[in-house]
Amino acid sequence: MGFPDRIERVLELAHPPEKVWTALTTAEGLGTWFGNEATIDLRPGGVARLTWTSGDTAELTLERVEEPTVFAFTWHIYGLPADDLRRTYVEFSLEPTGTGTRLTVVESGFAQLPQEAHDKAFGGNSTGWTHELGELVDYLDAA
């Protein structure tokens, strides 16, 4: 039996796709719900950098930017040494609905890890996405 390779979350948001897109793809949005400060070069191959008040940082390499339907990036795998080149792929898909937007978030690439590293990364990111997507909802509802 293999390890789970992906984390998937689906949110029904009471906001239009354009508003959700802005929250996902701007420094102001990312720096509010997904970090405490952000910069972003919004193009495939561009980089977004997130900083938290804890001093933690994350660098995202943008892979897909298809306004307003798909935003995707790769990033360092939680728990691995900083110089480890393995990455997971995170994709946000936005679909308009009658009441707003269906947002699907999929992070994949965990199956490449040995068990101990997999358990730490998959568990940490599963919990992390629950928390961060709750922050996204709060950000959208307050805006």
Residue 143: pLDDT band by 50, 70, 90 thresholds?
Answer: confident
Q: Using the predicted structure, report yes or no on whether residue 46 has a pLDDT greater than 60.
A: yes
- The pLDDT of 87-108, averaged and rounded, is 98
Q: What is the pLDDT of residue 1?
A: 44
- The pLDDT of 45-51, averaged and rounded, is 97
- The pLDDT of 126-140, averaged and rounded, is 96
Q: What is the pLDDT of residue 2?
A: 63
Predicted TM-score of the model (pTM):
0.95
Contacts of 9 (CB under 8 A, 6+ apart): 104, 105, 129, 130, 133
Per-residue burial over 63-100, b if 16 or more Cβ lie within 10 Å, else e, is: bebeebeebbbbbbbbbeeeeeeebbbbbbbbeeeeeb
**Tokens matching residue 80:** 């691995």
Per-residue burial over 107-131, b if 16 or more Cβ lie within 10 Å, else e, is: bebbeebeeebbeebbeebeeebee
- The pLDDT of 96-123, averaged and rounded, is 95
Q: Judge whether 55 and 129 are in contact, CB under 8 Å.
A: no
Dihedral (Cα; 69, 74, 79, 83), 10-degree rounding: -160
